[in-house]
A and B are shown apart, each in its own frame.
Chain A
Amino acid sequence: MENTPSTGKSLEVLIDRARRMALRYAQVSPYRLNPNREVWEGIVRGLGRQAHTFGWPYCP
């Protein structure tokens, strides 16, 4: 997998980072993750792709 020019990280690393961020935010905020795991995992993959393409996990 090609690394992104802006972060030097692979897509898998960035998806994993987005997943950890989402889980952590759900712990420390008053909100929770979407109850459908397939939905929130899909969004997390989208965030990872954003980070891979643009350098930051922009809202997909």
Chain B
Amino acid sequence: MQDRKFICPCYRHQRDIAQTHHCICHLYVSDDYRPVEIESPPIREEGSPWPRIAVYGAYWCQDTARTRRFLNRHDIPYTLVDVDHDPQAADKVREWNGGYLSTPTLDIQGRIVTEPSDEELAELLGLVRSLSGTK
């Protein structure tokens, strides 16, 4: 079914650019746009308490950027797999997501999580408990 308002350029791009200098996917921007740089993943050290995490994402994907910023902020190591440059990884993501190349898809030590919110990720990684001191 066709939903015109979500066809690019989507119905809210003018409002978003007026407010944040970019549309929701960062395709169109205003002259005042300043791209946000994302730091490299924290290095995994021996004896790290965190599970092994692979983030299957895309450089341009804003949800991938959000997830990376979340992991970086909490100093959680992960491996970034760019599905645009790794066709085998892209196939794997499609297989996990019923044919859709959903990004980010996370492999958290064998548990596949698709497009988690920061809150979901915090809960999955036990951050909620550890932050509240009940872990």
In angstroms, how far is the closest chain B Cβ from the Cβ of A32?
A: 6
How many residues of B are in contact with the other chain, CB < 8 A? 29
Q: Is the CB of B2 within 8 A of A55?
A: yes
- By secondary structure, the A interface counts as helix
CA distance A38 to B85 in the complex (A): 11
Interface centre among B6, B28, B30, B99 (most CB of A within 10 A): B28
Which residues of A are found within 8 Å of B3, using beta-carbon distances? 56, 58
Cα-based distance from A45 to B83 in the complex (angstroms): 12
- Chain B residues with CB under 8 A of A57: 7-8
The interface centre, meaning the residue of B8, B10, B35 with most chain A CB atoms within 10 A of its CB, is B8
Instruction: Report the bound CA distance from A22 to B59 in whole Å.
Output: 18
The A23-45 residues at the B interface (CB cut-off 8 A) are 25-26, 29-36, 38-45
What is the interface of chain B mostly: helix, strand, loop, or mixed? loop
Q: Give Cα A60 to B100, complex, Å.
A: 12
B51 within 8 Å of A (CB atoms): no
B24 touches A35 (CB 8 A): no
CA distance A2 to B31 in the complex (A): 39
Closest Cβ of chain B to A52, distance in Å, is 11
A10 to chain B, nearest CB (A): 17
| A residues neighboring B (CB under 8 Å) | 18, 21-22, 25-26, 29-36, 38-47, 49, 53, 55-60
- The residues of B with any CB-CB pair to A shorter than 8 Å are 2-3, 6-10, 13, 17, 22-31, 33, 35, 58-61, 84, 99-101
- A41-B60, A59-B8 given; name 13 further pairs at CB < 8 Å: A18-B8, A31-B17, A32-B28, A32-B29, A34-B60, A39-B35, A42-B58, A42-B59, A43-B26, A43-B27, A43-B60, A58-B3, A58-B10
